[in-house]
Amino acid sequence: MSSSGNQYLQQVVAQQERLEADLRSKRSAPAPAAQAPAPGGPTRGRDRQQAAQPAPNAVEVRVTGIGRWKTVIVPPNAFVVHTRRGRSEPLHVGLGVSFRYNPATDSYLVVPGAMQTILINAFCICRELQGVLVQAYVQWIIEDFSTAYRKLDFGDAEDPMRLVNLQLKEQAEAAIKDKVATLGVSDVLSDKQPIIEELTARLRAVAEGTSADAAANTSAGLGLRIVTVQIKEAVVSSARLWENLQKPYRSEQGRIARLAELAADEAIGARELAASRLRQTQQIESDRELAELRARNAALQFDQEAGEQLRRSQRQEEDSRALADLQDATTRHAMALERQRAAEEAEIGRLRIERETELRRLTVDGELAVEAARARAAHDRALLDLERERLRADIDNTQSAEAIQAKLVDALPEIVAKLPKPAELRAVTIGGNDTSTIGGLLAELAGVVGALQATLKKP
């Protein structure tokens, strides 16, 4: 920070200006047909002036219709009060209320209902008679518009809230200056809460009224509500004083940093010496351990080579003995295989002879068994025929006279067909006996058969 000026203060002021430009409402000019008349009155000259030069921060309302039959359409986020000549009370008061409008007798006022932000740069004198810049902001909204429009001036066509913001800004700056005058520079820079509390109490007493007014049911407030109060920055105006305030802390921090550097250098030197001594000690120990390790490795390598040579000689002897044993075992195994093959061939020949003998025996036994089976089959068939004849005889013996007579009648055509042709005709009378019984019928048939036999016996 140079001695020519307080650069930090300049930066804060520049940032404040940029913030004010960003918070300023910027609206494009609406069409002339959609322009509302001036909020202050119903005159046509004011209507033409507002239509010709639109207010960038005013509320955009739409007026439709012609002559005395117009309608004012208010945005939903704007307060409006509508009065008429001859009426002591307004016709419409509220948020976003649209209404019919007669330019000859009516007047209305439209005010933004959105939250307003006031940026404050208070150049104060502290208890030590030093200049201090306190940067703050206050946010407020309209709480009771029916009270606010009577006590506050919203008649600016370009910015209806400008005068109210200016009045609140002046009161806030005065409150901040009064509070900072009782504090020291260090108190202002380190703790901003007392300033915030004082500023909030004063603004709420003015905007909202005191608790005593609320208890007495009087409308001492302005119909506004303070939303928040904040202190953004507190900067010493004098660059030299600002540097002097920072010097103790900077010197203390420089001393602490230097002592820390010296302590660090001392600790680093001690650590380096200890590390060097440790490295040398470790190097000596490492050399000794490496020498011992080399000696052990050489002895171990010699022992391994001697053992390997001994193992190889023993392995060669073992391989020679194993090879001789293997050859002997191979010879014995070949002879055993030859003997086994001869025994197997003899066994195969014996088995072949036994199989042929057994086959011939089985063939003979099979033929005998076939003959015996045939004999048994013939015997069984004979027995079946005898049994069948016996059954037939039993059936014939058990038949009734009517059945026998029916069989004889059925067999007569066959009997007659087998008889020879007669050389002469003889008549035999049948009917002398009683043919209604079996005995009579048999007697008649016996007579017929006897006559036939006599005829056959003649030459």
pLDDT tens digits, residue range 49-95? 444 344 445 788 888 888 888 889 888 888 889 988 988 888 888 88
| pLDDT at residue 390 tops 70 | yes
The CATH code of the domain at 7-239 is 3.30.479.30
Residue 421 CA to residue 69 CA, distance in Å, equals 155
Q: What is the mean pLDDT of residues 308-323?
A: 88
| pLDDT at residue 316 tops 70 | yes
Report the candidate in 117, 134, 74, 75 with the shortest Cα–Cα distance to residue 99: 74
390, with CB counted inside 10 A (0-12, 13-18, 19+), is exposed
Q: Provide the token pair at 289.
A: 């351990």
| pLDDT at residue 9 tops 60 | yes
Residue 350 CA to residue 342 CA, distance in Å, equals 12
Residue 13 CA to residue 134 CA, distance in Å, equals 11
| 192-251: pLDDT as tens digits | 888 888 888 888 888 887 755 555 555 668 888 888 888 888 877 766 676 666 667 677
Question: Is the pTM higher than 0.85?
Answer: no
Phi, psi values for residue 164, rounded to 5°: -65, -45
pLDDT of residue 36: 40
Q: With contact defined as beta carbons under 8 Å apart, do 63 and 70 qualify? A: yes
pLDDT band at 33 (very low <50, low <70, confident <90, very high): very low
Amino acid identity of residue 177, one-letter, is K
CA atoms within 13 A on the CB side of 26: 5
Q: What is the mean pLDDT of residues 152-173?
A: 84
- Which ranges of 153-238 does DSSP label H, i.e. alpha helix? 162-180, 185-190, 193-207, 211-215
DSSP one-letter code for 38: P
> For the chain, what is the largest distance between any 2 Cα atoms, rounded to a whole number of angstroms?
197
CA 43 to chain centre: 67
Q: Tell me the average pLDDT of the chain.
A: 78
